[in-house]
Amino acid sequence: MPTVFFAASPDELAVVAATHADPTAMLAALDTVAAGDLDPAQLIDLDLLVTGNDPAEVREAVLTPAHEGPDDNGGTVLLPVRPALGSRLAHLSDHDVDALAERWAAADGAADGGWDAYRCGQLLRSLSLLALLAGADQRGLFVRFDS
């Protein structure tokens, strides 16, 4: 399964974490944004670009799983999206998204096979809407990575 951002209450997160084998049904019931091959390093880059927070603080927070796979052999990892990032994403204007997408693509090395500005912009627009929905429903934002 590709990387997926989703909004969930604590109870919904527990159900997603418990359905490691096939979370498709549970994720289908939640508000989600598919992020393809986005990896944790790209999430850290995005967080740093959007929030401007201390890099060590961001890395520590982003890489602290909300839930891990059923064993220590890797697999699924659910990470919380930092509230500072979610809040800022929810309030981005179209101009902000475009400028941020250009900066994020440059940081990701679009010329070297990374994400281009268009793809970054599409994901940012979707994440902005997801962050608005999560805030309105008083849910947290999370991302599901498969290794």
72-93: pLDDT as tens digits:
555 677 888 989 899 999 999 9
In single-letter form, the type of residue at position 34 comes to A
Q: How many helices (H) and strands (E) does the chain have?
A: 7, 5
103-135: pLDDT as tens digits:
988 887 655 666 888 999 999 999 999 999 999
Enclosing domain of residue 80: 4-146
Q: Please give the distance of CA 70 from its chain centroid, rounded to a whole number.
A: 21
Taking the model in full, what pTM does it have?
A: 0.84
Q: Which residues pair with 68 in a beta bridge?
A: 77
128-138: pLDDT as tens digits:
999 999 999 99
Tokens standing for 45? 């880059």
Q: How many domains does the chain have?
A: 1
In single-letter form, the type of residue at position 21 comes to A
